[in-house]
Amino acid sequence: MVTKNRFVQVCCFGFISLAFSVLLTAENDLFQEAELALADKDVNRAFGIYKSILDKDPTSAKAIRGLGLALWMDGRNKEAIICYQRVIEIAPDFVSAYADLSVILSDQNRHKKAVEYAQRASRLFPKDIPLQLNYADILWQAECYDQAADRYRNILVELPNHLSANVGLASSLIAIGQLDSALPPIAKVVSIDPKHITARYNRAVVYTKQGKTELAIKDLKFILRQEPKHTNAQFELGFAYQQEKQFELAVTTYREALTNNPDDSTIYYNLAQCYARMGQKEQAKSEYQKAKQLQELQQDLSETQAYLEKYPNEPKGYLYLGDLYVRYKKTELAQKSYEKALQVSADFLPAYRRLADFYIQQKLLHEATKVYQQAVDHFPKAVEIRVMLGLLHKEQKNFKVASKHLKIAEEAATDLVEARGQAEDLEQLSFVYYAQSRYDEAESLLVSLLTTEPENKKYLDQLKTVRAANIQPKDID
């Protein structure tokens, strides 16, 4: 695992264009205020300012670019890209738009277009080192390691002591297997900055690959003294111990890495190997299963996120994402996904159900009640939602409120039965009766439904639930 100092990671907002302040000098107080808002990560304020500028000048490339940056910071990548493309239409030589786009697209793994935009920016200002470094970094992210190495070398011709370029060159050489050639630029960085974490980490990677595990361990221990939670260093240290057949130390180190990166399937695979070598077959099997499960999760997440990139306003995608997180016990992420589904569409009834059910599973009945109340406000005639709201109030001993909602649900369900009389209407009415503790009436409706569909599992399960609730004290021995 090789890392390097991407310039975009040390920019204030992750964008190369913010590095060259001459191009971004505020033209007036409004632009200054918007830039300060972005610096404070106050995206909503920045939105408002840029929109007010665009109300007066709809073709202000600088304001559209600022709006794009704000959208990117808010995680709205698709809209941000549209803004930047509009900037390029208005001002074909607006260099920061090309640089910004290269970073956004690279982060989305759209590497071909990212490289094109980074190259265009670098050609517009061929002497600008940050732009040249960005181009090299984008090539590196696209796994064009030979080309990236050439770009880093070009920078080093002008600035031989440039730390990021030296680190980038070393990272590129490691990636293409030129381990011996990677050591001189690493040594240059360490000679200038002996505490440079990335350089020392990359050197440890080289040493491990060369079988010089003692030297690798020395560098990795140095890194972890400086940054105890450096997950990559923890992993490499565990791997070095594993190579040295110090399996107990490897296990301890991998466990520490998991505290900071619990979703890394590779760590679990390596743990499984260590336990197997230690003769602990059951533990090895357990770790292997965890690794396999995490790989499946990552695959599912990747597919779902790709869908959401394509359809960012489709609430079903966020519900599926929430379901994935629930399945893998990522409750905080699940909650955010369900909430996002509602933000995207307040008129999508399944989103209310899923979020409320999530809260019920977490025993947060008050929160579930609030969600169902919002649902009732949007869907006042939805019988099932009204019943669930009544049941939640009943569970919290708000009997008067519960009775009110259940009465409304009964009237709505009865109207549907009288108007249509379909099976689903009778089923809903039986659910209302069940919630009102009118078990005999609920059972009667379910039995009548089963006369036409005797194998209907849903009806059978509901009947079982109703009969269990209808057990009288005299029936209990």
Q: In the structure encoding, which two tokens stand for residue 216, read together?
A: 């690798």
- Is a pLDDT exceeding 80 seen at residue 24? no
Question: Confidence class of residue 100 from pLDDT cuts 50, 70 and 90?
Answer: very high
**pLDDT tens profile 69-98:** 998 888 888 889 999 999 999 999 999 999
Output the pLDDT for position 472: 55
Which carries the bigger pLDDT value, residue 118 or residue 35? 118
**pLDDT tens profile 121-177:** 999 999 999 999 999 999 999 999 999 999 999 999 999 999 999 999 999 999 999
- Is a pLDDT exceeding 50 seen at residue 416? yes
- Is a pLDDT exceeding 50 seen at residue 19? no
- Which amino acid is present at 154? N
Output the pLDDT for position 15: 45
For residues 22-42, give the mean pLDDT: 72
**pLDDT tens profile 270-317:** 999 999 999 999 999 999 999 999 999 889 988 998 898 888 889 999
Which carries the bigger pLDDT value, residue 99 or residue 14? 99
- Is a pLDDT exceeding 80 seen at residue 474? no
Domains of the chain, earliest start first: 1-118 (1.25.40.10)
For residues 34-50, give the mean pLDDT: 88
- Is a pLDDT exceeding 90 seen at residue 30? no
Output the pLDDT for position 161: 97
**pLDDT tens profile 419-473:** 998 999 999 999 999 999 999 999 999 999 999 999 999 999 999 999 998 885 5
- Is a pLDDT exceeding 90 seen at residue 318? yes
